[in-house]
Homo-oligomer: A and B are copies of this chain.
């Protein structure tokens, strides 16, 4: 019997980290054939060339889709999605997958969802049903309405997808595949690598032995104008805390300019003696780094997801993760220098590192591969009410 062909489209570095164990489980499954399609910023140097990591991890790339239109403005984001549809529909025509899998809620993933659903290819969506309160949310729930299968990360996400009119028989709470890796990393003792040596980066190189902070803050698309003001509050808070800090550059997004140029400009004006900047890091190294850190600062979903599972203190800034499930490790604050600094000091002082299983138990990849093997193929659905 021929194996089912499962096309997974990865458009960005963090999406790869998130579903790496799914890719692994599909690749190893005797009844499945993985068709890995790498697109958008996942192909580009400037955004960390996720494709290099995929190939190093032993995945074969079935198709590359260059669709990022330069401009870093909202019109370019729309056009990038349009080009993505033009290109992905050709790729699907060539690869003839039995199922297409799309991940999460980045704007350009809509191209995957539209191409597959318009071509009558069953569409599976990983990580639907969550809330955040930005443009991602429009995208995420619209993809839910285009998708035929839903592999969600938490109980509340499952409920939300069902309430969106999806057939409960098509909704599966598999847990989040990012937790699978967190589980592996959590068992390590200490920092397994020297981040400065392995990942380069710029800025000073503070000693990490007595604890350090990690910062990762992305622009929030619909608040384009404010990106720069937001990042400056964080920059001043970190300056005020004056602890060894490892800072990660943001992903591409309309608005990246505001955040990135805010950082660049601040660095030119002020000495940041305790801060080192990285462009990117392999997923498990990053989790190991977080696991050994005092606290994560920013608005990355890693904070509420992997960090909750691993019990790492998080100071979560602004609206980006609003209303997402989280463990007791997360302190929510506004874009305010003092609020940020005080929350960091408070959480470090408390010493609380209690883990949570709200995002699953570390076996999401395997669960999803098994479902993809057995699910009846369909691309026709109707709202349940």
Contact = CB atoms under 8 A, between A and B. Distances in A.
A240 B363 CA distance: 59
Nearest to A65: B90
Contacts of A94: 94
B89 A85 contact: no
Given A141-B145, A145-B142, A79 B70 contact: no
A76, A132, A382 — most chain B CB neighbours (10 Å): A382
A111 interface: yes
Given A71-B44, A133-B382, A323-B382, A119 B85 contact: no
B66 A75 contact: yes
Given A142-B146, A383-B141, A69 B71 contact: no
Contact of A135 (B46, B118, B222): B118
A175 interface: no
Interface string A48-92: 000000000000000000111111011111110111111101101
A382 B146 CA distance: 18
A114 interface: yes
A164 interface: yes
A69 B82 contact: no
A380 B222 contact: yes
A107 interface: yes
B70 A68 contact: yes
Contacts of A83: 69, 82-83, 86
Contact of A78 (B78, B89, B131, B141): B89
A94 to B, nearest CB: 7
- The bracket for how many chain A residues form the interface is 35 or more
A71 B64 CA distance: 11
Contacts of A270: none
A120 B224 contact: yes
Given A120-B224, A224-B120, A381-B138, A85 B79 contact: yes
A43 B135 CA distance: 25
Contacts of A114: 78, 81-82, 110
A329 interface: no
A383 B134 CA distance: 10
A66 B78 CA distance: 12
A107, A141, A381 interface centre (most CB from chain B within 10 Å): A141
A353 interface: no
A68 B44 CA distance: 13
A133 B92 CA distance: 24
Nearest to A132: B382
A33 interface: no
19 contacts: A44-B70, A46-B70, A68-B70, A69-B69, A69-B70, A75-B119, A78-B114, A90-B90, A94-B94, A117-B138, A137-B382, A138-B146, A138-B381, A141-B383, A160-B385, A163-B163, A163-B165, A163-B385, A164-B165
